[in-house]
Amino acid sequence: MNAVVCPSKLFVRTVPLRGHAGSLVRRLPAGTPLAWLNGDDGLVGWGRAAQWTPAAEPEGTAPTDTTRFTEAARWLNGLLERTEVEDEVRLPGTGMLSFGTFTFSPTSAGSTILVPRVVLGRRGDRAWLTTITEEPGAHPDELLYPTPAPRPIGPLSWRTGARTSAEWGRVVAATIARIRDGELDKAVLARDLIAEADSPIDVRTLLGRLNERYPGCLTFSVAGMVGATPELLLRREGTDLTSLVLAGTRPRGATTEEDRRLSEELMSSAKDVEEHGLAVDSLRDALAPLAEELVVPAWPHLLQLANVQHLATRAHARLRPGVSALDAVAALHPTAAVGGTPTATAMRLIDASEGMDRGGYAGPVGWVDGAGNSEWGIALRSAYVDGSTIRLFAGGGIVSGSEPESEIAETESKFRAVREALIDR
- Helix or strand or coil: residue 306? coil
Q: Does 414 qualify as catalytic in the annotation?
A: no
**Cβ partners under 8 Å of residue 145, min gap 6:** 29, 46, 47
The single residue of 57, 142, 231, 410 carrying the catalytic annotation is 231
| DSSP track, 156-217 | EEEEE-SS-HHHHHHHHHHHHHHHHTTS-SEEEEEEEEEEEESS---HHHHHHHHHHH-TTS
Helix (H) / strand (E) element for 264: namely: helix 256-268
Q: Does 271 qualify as catalytic in the annotation?
A: no
| DSSP track, 36-105 | EEETTEEEEEES-SEEEEPPPPPTT--TT--HHHHHHHHHHHHHHHTEEEEESS-STT-SSEEEEE--SS
| DSSP track, 271-301 | HHHHHHHHHHHHHHHHHGGGEEEEE--SS-E
The single residue of 57, 142, 186, 414 carrying the catalytic annotation is 186
Active-site residues, by number, are 186, 231
